[in-house]
Structure 1
Amino acid sequence: MDADAREAWDRVRRRLRAEVGEEVYSSWFPRIELDGIHDGFVRLSVPTRFLKTWIQQHYIERLVSLWQEEGSADRVELIVRTAVMRAPGAAPAPVRTVVTRAAAPADVEAGTVVVSSMSNPAEVANGSPLDPRLTFSTYRLGDSNRLAHAAALKVAHAPAGSGPVFNPLYLHAAVGLGKTHLLQAIAADGSDHGRRVVYLTAERFMYGFVAALKSQSSLAFKEQLRGIDTLVIDDLQFLQGKSVQQEFCHTLNALMDSGRQVVIAADRPPAELDALEERVRSRLAGGLVVEIAPLDDELKLEILAARIATLSHQHPGFGVPADVLNFIARNCGQNGRDLDGALNRLLAHNQLTSRAITLEMAETAVRDLVRSSEPKRVRVDDILRVVAKHYNVSRADILSQRRTANVVKPRQIAMYLAKMLTLRSLPEIGRRFGGRDHTTVLHAVRKIDGLVGTDRALADEVETLKRLVNDE
């Protein structure tokens, strides 16, 4: 691959990172690679079918646009690296702008992940692998997570054969605040207390169910899952596909109705899981729903101290002065992953340049992680909630196809705010507003933008809504 192609790909990635934000980019795009450019055709590859499906559904249009704007190519194909075997130097496959999804069983909706390499779906029912470091003893406590920790501990330590404590226990928080840590701790401790516990990511649940359909062993798959004491599902927001959701709902009902414990984690409360059916959201909301709030400075310092202790075992002599720790805690993000990133920067600068860790060195090493001066990151969910309340309509009304005046105005204002206050693209906003086309969003943004310039009352309304959203 020539240098021009690599440079073009670097520019596309930088623009994509700027548009979607660091959090989204680091979740979905670090493992995407450029396979080649041939006659205006770009081939990109990812390591898993799940990642391919997600990018196709949410970002393929933007990737095509970025390559077109770059002038290097106007067509993009996304493939799974492990599924492609070709001779060195072979030409790319026939061009197609949006990759055709893998063939699925007749009763699995398009877009559902299909994994043909999973020959034994029963392996999935045995659970996703656990990280031995994620235990209750390594979980750091503060005001933001104390209730979630206490509830998780209660569930994990329930004696074998006892009924559920909270059913379901539903934990939600933004990325990097310890949801997965608590869920894996529940799975590990529950097994130690004689309970049959299965920990699954939503991705792995989908893999298992679809593979079971393909191998005609879905009944065995269901029975294995329903024969356990505790089911732990992580990242529920990624559960996709009508058939998969229906099976999840059946499994959830079967377990809860038979007195088995269910624990769920997601990045938002049940009511905001728009992709899930109403009956599933209602059942999830009927248990104990606990939010894990952003870390306060005191808890950040505890987490930093624990991470430094671990790093000092691996790198003798590594230490961070108190003033540098305070600087990182105050300025480098709101979650554990941000803190890890800052410490890794300090370690790298210290080890590779032999420079002592000082406040001046730290300010240079982590300058692109400092977010104290940036505005609060706004979510589309925050906007929907504020606008719906302000105009006395329901969230469902805004996302519906209704076109009455009392719904159209709030919907257009919400779309306008989503474009002004978030990093999401027009197609992304359209998907979050009931699956609308990006042109509909563009029309709403232009209309409200024009009215704000001529209608003082509406301009004041919009400013009020902006303040309310930023105060959320």
Structure 2
Amino acid sequence: MDTEAKIILDDTISFCERDGRDARLIQILKQSEALELTDTDLSVEVPTRFAYSYLVKQRDVVERYLEDIAFTPLALNITVSQAITAPQEHTAAAGATTGSAPEERPRIPTVDWDAPAPESRDRVKVKNIISPDALRELTASVQQHEPATTVEPKARQESAAAGPSVPINSKFTFENFVYGDENKHAYQSSVRFALMADEPGIYTSLFIYGKSGLGKTHLLLAIENYLSEHNPGIRVKYANSQTYVEDYINELRVQKTNGGRILREYHDADVLIIDDIQNIIGKTQSIENFFSLVDEFIRNNKKIAIASDRAPKNLGMDERLTSRFNAGMLCLVSEPGFEMKYEILKRYYEHTVLPDAELQGSASALDTSGSILSALRTGGGTLTDEQLRHMAEVSGTNIRELESFCERCAGASYEREQKGQQLEADEIDRIADEYFDRAHKRIQIGTVQAVVEEFYHVSHEDLCGQKRMKNITQARHVAIYLAYDMCEMTNVAIGAEFDGRDHSTVHYSIKKIEKQLAHDHSLARELQALRNKIILKS
């Protein structure tokens, strides 16, 4: 049996089931055996003459699916099982597998599937269909005896034993990650996942979701880098969505000739890390294979870490996968508030910008050739704590843009210092306008409170007071969440506007609303309506 041919046939069955095709067609395809896949044809063997007759009629339907899956036209060649064909039918079947034109294929009489078989007709033995569990065991047994490629894991382990490998990108480590209330759960879960990577059945899945630029990729690469350095015996496969799709398409073409298992490097890994999976969803040619891969990892208690811009339930995945990810470590990464932005800017300035500037200065001092490069220095000017705080106030929430913004401000500060001047707030604002959309109105917390009070029909005293009726507490949680989301204020400052509540109470309200949003679509619509009203009144 051609492994690649079986994959294509299985994908065709899945597509038929997805589109609600005739159950008879689906059942026949499931009973068929994939024989061979070439650049132009898929050859299958059906168990009965009746199945042959029916599949010939449905050839065009199947071939359209084959083209969708393989990205190229594929002809469907059909043969009947040799165990049941008469001598004259052997000749006909052979003609079908040699690429004969449609008009030269043997004519098969039309069969009424609903009519009972005559008593005089020979009984046809339909081969037994192997159960899914038995098939998995058989496949595993076959794979253990496959030559050549099975030595790769052993080679990796021998290489790892020679010493720890160097992390792919040392910038992306747990030590370099700035975390706070907005991403603390994702950070801690990622650390646990890495620490327990060699413990089967514990922390098997990690799913991190949130908007772009909030540090999801940093955490995934930190896991890979940590394992590469501290546990090199573990086979880790990291790929973003684009790499996965490209690998899938390339291996579909290559494996047609050698019959090897598609995406073997993915299947053989102990830890699978996939970034931005939302870009895989919707690509019908690869999505079924991806779901099968993920399901295999979860069923076998192997480790898988995934990042996406939305929660599992909003990705349109198989319900079984959604429930499994929800049962694992599911972590939302929120947009950073003022405090976290300040910490990110400060850390990046102290640990990256200043050291880079010192290296530039040292290189310039050592270069006595008088070259243009020896006189070039692009940054490293002084940024005071006050300037960093102002930068946090006027900046956006994308962490990658924050780092670039920090470098620009440090460079501008250096240029000012060469003239005996200091970087002013208005110049920081001008640089921020190049990076971030600052055209939005400044939202006041009083406006947020007033809109929420009107919407939920509660008084200002009740909203900010100590009453604990359900409608009042929900309105209070919403008001605090919107203040955090729309006002440039710290948790401490927000708590002061709600009868002096401390930052931990504010944090609880924010997390409560985020948890509700994970399953309550009506609340999401309410919040959007409230945001629109707040913006109009600002």
Using the size of structure 2 for normalisation, the TM-score is 0.45
- SS for the counterpart of 2:182 is coil
1:357 shift after superposition: 2.1
Tell me, yes or no, if structure 1 residue 151 matches structure 2 residue 189.
yes
Matched ranges for 1:104-115 at <5 A: 106-108=67-69
Corresponding residue for 2:284? 242
Corresponding residue for 1:271? 313
| 8 Å contact kept, 2:211–2:309 | yes
d(CA) in 2 for partners of 1:466, 1:346:
37
Tell me, yes or no, if structure 1 residue 361 matches structure 2 residue 424.
no
- CA deviation profile, 1:129-166 (whole Å, cap 9, x unmatched): 94221001111121111111111111101153x21433
Matched ranges for 1:103-252 at <5 A: 106-108=67-69, 130-158=168-196, 160=198, 162-191=199-228, 192-193=230-231, 194-216=233-255, 219-239=260-280, 240-252=282-294
Change in 2 beyond 3 A, CA 1:168/1:136: same
1:256 shift after superposition: 1.4
Which letter does structure 1 place at the counterpart of 2:221? Q
Matched ranges for 1:21-420 at <5 A: 106-108=67-69, 130-158=168-196, 160=198, 162-191=199-228, 192-193=230-231, 194-216=233-255, 219-239=260-280, 240-274=282-316, 276-309=317-350, 310-316=352-358, 317-351=380-414, 354=418, 356-369=422-435, 371=437, 374=440
d(CA) in 2 for partners of 1:369, 1:362:
11
- SS for the counterpart of 2:208 is strand
d(CA) in 1 for partners of 2:66, 2:423:
57
| 8 Å contact kept, 1:196–1:229 | yes
d(CA) in 2 for partners of 1:202, 1:236:
5
Which letter does structure 1 place at the counterpart of 2:422? A
Change in 2 beyond 3 A, CA 1:213/1:374: same
- SS for the counterpart of 1:250 is helix
1:271 shift after superposition: 1.5
- CA deviation profile, 1:354-388 (whole Å, cap 9, x unmatched): 56323232122223445566169xxxxxxxxxxxx
Provide structure 1 residue ranges, at least 5 long, that are not aligned to the other structure.
1-103, 112-120, 377-461
Change in 2 beyond 3 A, CA 1:279/1:190: same
d(CA) in 2 for partners of 1:464, 1:340:
30
Change in 2 beyond 3 A, CA 1:110/1:138: same
Change in 2 beyond 3 A, CA 1:190/1:221: farther
- SS for the counterpart of 2:341 is helix
1:280 shift after superposition: 4.3
1:207 shift after superposition: 0.9
Change in 2 beyond 3 A, CA 1:219/1:307: same
d(CA) in 2 for partners of 1:470, 1:147:
32
| 8 Å contact kept, 1:323–1:359 | no
1:348 shift after superposition: 4.0
RMSD over aligned Cα atoms: 3.4
- SS for the counterpart of 2:175 is helix
- SS for the counterpart of 1:233 is strand
Q: State percent identity of aligned pairs.
A: 22
Which letter does structure 2 place at the counterpart of 1:196? R
1:197 shift after superposition: 1.2
| 8 Å contact kept, 2:353–2:407 | no
Which letter does structure 2 place at the counterpart of 1:150? Q
1:257 shift after superposition: 1.1
Corresponding residue for 2:364? none
Change in 2 beyond 3 A, CA 1:340/1:141: same
Change in 2 beyond 3 A, CA 1:464/1:303: closer
- CA deviation profile, 1:33-64 (whole Å, cap 9, x unmatched): xxxxxxxxxxxxxxxxxxxxxxxxxxxxxxxx
1:225 shift after superposition: 1.6
Which letter does structure 2 place at the counterpart of 1:365? I
Change in 2 beyond 3 A, CA 1:320/1:212: same
d(CA) in 1 for partners of 2:302, 2:268:
9
* Deviates further, 177-186 or 280-289: 280-289
d(CA) in 2 for partners of 1:256, 1:182:
20
d(CA) in 1 for partners of 2:427, 2:225:
40
- SS for the counterpart of 1:106 is helix
Runs of 4+ residues deviating >4 angstroms: 276-280, 351-355, 370-373, 462-465, 468-471
d(CA) in 1 for partners of 2:436, 2:272:
38
d(CA) in 1 for partners of 2:533, 2:215:
24
| 8 Å contact kept, 1:328–1:339 | no
Which letter does structure 2 place at the counterpart of 1:225? Y
| 8 Å contact kept, 1:235–1:266 | yes
1:338 shift after superposition: 2.9
Point out which structure has higher relative CO (alpha carbons under 8 A, 6+ apart).
Answer: 1
d(CA) in 2 for partners of 1:197, 1:305:
33
